[in-house]
Amino acid sequence: MVRFCPIVSGSSGNSTYIGTEYTHILIDAGVSGKKIQDGLNAINIECGALDGIFVTHEHIDHIKGVGILSRRFDLPVYATEGTWEAMAGSLGDISRKNRKIIYGGEKLELNDIYIKPFEIPHDAAEPVGFSVFAGDFKVTVATDIGHASECVKENIADSDVLLLEANHDIEMLKRGSYPYNLKQRILGDYGHMANINAGRLLAEIMSARIKHVFLGHLSAENNTPEIAYRSVEQVMFDNNIKVGKDINIQLARRNFPSQCLNF
Ligand SMILES: [Zn+2]
Ligand SMILES: [Zn+2]
């Protein structure tokens, strides 16, 4: 059995739980340790049962609780070399034995699961997304992606469950209050994925296998859950993909655990 649950998701902080009977991991821990502990407890997981935290990149909305959780529960932290370097000043002390280096494209075995980091186009040192393989199942977390690179497409394809970034509505962002440079950064190839591009990417990689998609990492300023959902649904409709039948799409919640998927 695999369990998949976004604990928190949004520009304000990200963390996703993935587990089996024997293995429990977090992808990112981007809110306070306390908040993640509460979120995990709400889905009946003890922090002490975790086997590790896998970090996508050094931005604070992905690492805020990493140091404290690693120290409090003696948890290994897995990140690329570039991410380790870039987050060194923000984590506090992590014991040598809990510092694990991972490499984009290289699968890693952990008890009964495999974890594969893959390169994502984002303005960080060495950012990655993650696919997790357990038995016949594949689940993928792909947020903070400026554009749908070949590597991203390849790695999210054939996932049973996908957490995909739907960061902003392009018009809301353009009309919004962000300074020009920040708008350009977000809209750029190494920024964040717009709702419509998330929809297009999904339509492109759609297969019989993809059953559940969580839209996540929504901007609090330049998006709403309703707008994100409707934008993606519209692209699905335009491509003759029936939402609710061919694919389930739901929003990952910003501050609390989303629905847990067990399969
Ligand atoms: Zn980021
Ligand atoms: Zn982020």
pLDDT values of the chain reduced to their tens digit, one per residue, 263 residues: 899 999 999 999 999 999 999 999 999 999 999 999 999 999 999 999 999 999 999 999 999 999 999 999 999 999 999 999 999 999 999 999 999 999 999 999 999 999 999 999 999 999 999 999 999 999 999 999 999 999 999 999 999 999 999 999 999 999 999 999 999 999 999 999 999 999 999 999 998 899 899 999 999 999 999 999 999 999 999 999 999 999 999 999 999 999 999 98
Cα–Cα distance measured from residue 84 to residue 143, given in angstroms and rounded to the nearest whole number: 19
Q: Ligand 2: distance of its center to the CA of 17 in Å? A: 16
Q: Give a yes or no: residue 157 inside a domain.
A: yes
* Number of folded domains that form the chain: 1
Terminal Cα distance for the chain, rounded:
6
Query: How does DSSP classify residue 125?
Result: S
Side-chain half-sphere exposure of 79, counting CA atoms within 13 A: 30
Instruction: Evaluate whether 8 touches 61 at the Cβ level (below 8 Å).
Output: no
Query: How does DSSP classify residue 177?
Result: S
Query: What is the structure's pLDDT at 134?
Result: 97
Main-chain dihedrals φ then ψ at residue 94, nearest 5 degrees: -120, 130
18 lies in which domain range?
A: 3-254
Q: Give a yes or no: residue 182 inside a domain.
A: yes
Query: What is the structure's pLDDT at 207?
Result: 87
Q: Ligand 2: distance of its center to the CA of 60 in Å? A: 8
Q: Give a yes or no: residue 260 inside a domain.
A: no
Q: Ligand 1: distance of its center to the CA of 195 in Å? A: 16
Q: Ligand 1: distance of its center to the CA of 22 in Å? A: 30
Q: Give a yes or no: residue 259 inside a domain.
A: no
Query: What is the structure's pLDDT at 242?
Result: 95
Q: Which residues surround ligand 2, an ion (CB under 5 A)?
A: 59, 61, 144
Distances (CA, A) of 61 to 218, 230, 241, 262: 12, 25, 33, 26
Q: Ligand 1: distance of its center to the CA of 186 in Å? A: 10
Q: Give a yes or no: residue 261 inside a domain.
A: no
CATH number where 40 lies: 3.60.15.10
Q: Give a yes or no: residue 195 inside a domain.
A: yes
Q: Ligand 2: distance of its center to the CA of 255 in Å? A: 14
Q: Give a yes or no: residue 13 inside a domain.
A: yes
Instruction: Evaluate whether 260 touches 252 at the Cβ level (below 8 Å).
Output: no
Q: Give a yes or no: residue 35 inside a domain.
A: yes
Main-chain dihedrals φ then ψ at residue 69, nearest 5 degrees: -70, -40
pTM of full prediction above 0.75: yes
